[in-house]
Amino acid sequence: MEPRAFYVAGRPAHGEGELTVTHPYDGQAVGRTTFATDDQVEAAVADAARVAAVAAALPAHVRTAALDHVSRRLAERTDEVASLITAENGKPMKWARAEVGRAVSVFRWAAEEARRFSGELQRLDTDPAATGRIALVRRVPRGPVLGITPFNFPLNLVAHKVAPALAVGAPIVVKPAPATPLSALLLGEILAGTDLPEGMFSVLPLPNERAAELVADPRLPVVSFTGSGPVGAAIRRAAPDKHVTLELGGNAAAVICADWSSDDDLTFAAQRIATFSNYQAGQSCIAVQRVYVHERLYAGFLPRLVAAVEGLRTGDPRAETTDVGPLVSVAAARRVETWVDEAVAAGATVETGGRRDGATYPPTVLSGVPADAKVCAEEVFGPVLVVAPVADDRAAFSAVNDSAYGLQAGVFTHRLDVAFTAARTLEVGGVIVGDVPSYRADQMPYGGVKGSGVGREGLHSAMADYTEQRVTVLTGVAL
């Protein structure tokens, strides 16, 4: 098994110290690469800084051609890329293919946004003293971007860093998660087939403790991080003079409102919640973790939810019939197991699931969970669902807000007034009406409040984050 190359300023390279990637399901080696050396890291950052002005001046057709190329090549290699995602991450093949499809869309959207990233004109002759003046307001790159990505979406979350950077003409240095670097390296291989100038991108496998040197480097003025809250907070403290965007996760909630009362309504909600509390073994920032059900509907909803969860197939993620695969490691599964055991000791009831097998933790539903239990108050990042009755919709919204996080929430209601009340009341970055909080379209603004981070992803939003306004005033213009 030859080690995969990583990319230093667009050029394939090998470093020192072997990094072996193993399959979370059975521990078998699925790929190898090496860690970038100090000299290679320096070359990547120096070249990104060197090429920044050239990159910012790239014609739109050059940037869009590169983005379109990546989108096409990912689509052509879907099965290969999906198999790689499953191998290093452990997510079932159907979800791995969905991730590839999303990455294809991300690069396509970035190309479209790059074509219309033109700025705006403002008339200034609204005052007599400004007669004959007009302003052109454009956005220009802040400079090279450092993208630090997590293990749970090893391709698509890299795409969400790389695509908007290329779209605005900003060089980017990517540090993928050490557990799942292979998808990012494959993306580097595809990028190397474009006509982008050398230095425009680097993909550097590094241990997590070496990220601090990149965060501190003044030649990387933008830091875009997706991962855990403590690490994100440390990055923000370490880089107060940089433009930092943080997507730090949450403990997403769904609300079954009083009007969502028919048998079909309850069955639909139960099926959607069961699927999207477990679809990445719960390892998604917007996987459903908490469910608040109007007390009048609770007795009819809970058995439907349990049945839907028990209908999910758990097993080898390489099998086409598998719905739920392993967590990323045995250690991650043990942590989930500990949190569930703590909740049970505090009075919770296991409605289904609750028995770990290696790195696999079965889809689990808990009731009667104290609000301060970790599985309710923190981000469990595993296939665990907490369900509770509430007196009314207002109480449900209050329970959703009783959290240190605020990424997205799902509100099952048919009533427009309830939907707008939720949108006004809930302290989250996004409210999904009529569905689970796990819905995300890759072009829409995506991010949270409170402990869920700062800034927004989504192509246009990230492009705005990576750039700053520059004004050109023209004088003596006949308007």
Question: Which residues belong to the active site?
Answer: 247, 285
22-52: string of b/e by CB count within 10 Å (b at 16+)? Answer: bbbbeeeebbebbbbbeebbebbbebbbbbb
What's the CA gap between 455 and 466, in Å, rounded? 10
Q: Is 55 helix (H, G, I), strand (E, B) or coil?
A: helix
Are 467 and 422 within 8 A, CB to CB? no
Locus of tokens 């425009």: 200
Length reported for the chain: 479
Phi, psi angle pair for 470, to nearest 5°: -135, 130
Nearest CA to 101 among 159, 179, 36, 184? 159
Phi, psi angle pair for 329, to nearest 5°: -160, 165
Determine how β-strand 253-256 pairs with β-strand 408-412.
Answer: parallel
What's the CA gap between 333 and 356, in Å, rounded? 7
Task: Calculate the dihedral angle through the C-alpha atoms of 458, 463, 468, 474, rounding to the nearest 10 degrees.
Answer: -120
**Burial class for 272, CB neighbours closer than 10 Å (0-12, 13-18, 19+):** buried
